[in-house]
Amino acid sequence: MRVLLAGGAGYVGTHTAVALLNAGHEAVLLDDLSGTHAVAAERVAQITGTSVPLVVGDAADDAVVSGVFDDHGPFDAIIHLAAFKAVGESTQKPLDYYSNNLDTTYALMRVGLARGIRSFVFSSTGTVYSDPADLPFTEESTTSIDLSNPYSKSKRMNEVVLEDIARVNPDLNVTILRYFNPVGAHPSGLIGEDPAGIPNNLMPFVSRVAVGSLEQIGIFGDDYDTPDGTGLRDYIHVVDLAEGHVVALEQAQPGFAVFNLGTGTPVSVHELVTSFEKAVGRELPKVVLGRRPGDVAATYCDPAKAERELGWKAQLGIDDACRDYWNWQSTNPNGYAGA
């Protein structure tokens, strides 16, 4: 298949591009580079030995998307990874988040349907689940638009839009992939996560402490009702996550489908930090802080549907993720900007 990867130069995008190319598919990357660097696409080519076109442009612009089809099409499928994704920032910039995260879907679908694409894979999130009592979350667990932040709301809104589009286009396959917590990096150390500024997520924060650019790890709450008092999350290695996109395309059937992509095994904050310290080979400075507003004690999924229907199952664990992330960060202490 020939696949348009919107947001393809980002963290999940580059790993998905590698997985697609290694599986014998073709990929073209579309990215405005607002959250990444062009060198990321060059690293994909370095890993795979395959030239990967990168179009720098806004996936929310119909003319830009049409130009990609004109210059690099036709395409069999679109994987939509282009989104603003910082939960905290979304509460301060709701208009930016709703506009970007919805307009990209509208443009990609308008152009894609007009140009005859048959498969559309959307990057969603496990934060669309709204009832903590549903653990572990299945695809049938309660979801809501009434969520705690515009990022999560925008993802759930997209799901609703895409389900309606699939209903009136019976030959189209629309697959929603609800990610849990992507971590890790490609084992080559050539591509990985490169967040701007102070990271919002735990593993990049820990790695910045390990490399010396941040002073200490902040652990937000150690008094939750969990085995060690710290929050539990479902951390999925980004390489496993990328493989999930490939099988979602290869197994696609007409209609609308939703799949959780996670390990099903919750890992605590303390466990992640300990695993990362093992990868680094030394203890890292840390401090326990108060709970953050909006944080929950635990969130993790039941990924059985993806295994049953797609034949996909996460193969890598938290030690693999910490090892590979540290390999990436220690090799690229300043991320892609240092390349």
Residues serving a catalytic function are 151
Tell me the CA distances in angstroms from 310 to 76, 96, 245, 265, one per residue in order. 19, 35, 10, 19
Taking alpha carbons only, the member of 120, 256, 122, 248 closest to residue 178 is 122
Round to whole Å and give the CA distance between 63 and 25.
25
Residue 11's closest CA among 210, 200, 276?
200
CA atoms within 13 A on the CB side of 132: 11
| Alpha-carbon span 253 to 311, nearest angstrom | 14
Which residues have C-beta within 8 Å of that of residue 164, sequence separation ≥ 6?
Answer: none
Q: Which of 35, 82, 38 minimizes the C-alpha distance to 59?
A: 82
> 61 vs 32, 82, 83, CA distance in Å?
11, 12, 14
d(CA 178, CA 50): 29
Q: How far apart are CA 52 and CA 45, in angstroms?
A: 6
- Eight-state DSSP code of residue 127: G
Closest to 187 (Cα-Cα) out of 319, 306, 36: 319
Q: How long a stretch of residues is the chain?
A: 339
222, 289 Cβ separation under 8 angstroms = no
User: How many Cα atoms occupy the beta-carbon half-sphere of 120 within 13 Å?
Assistant: 30
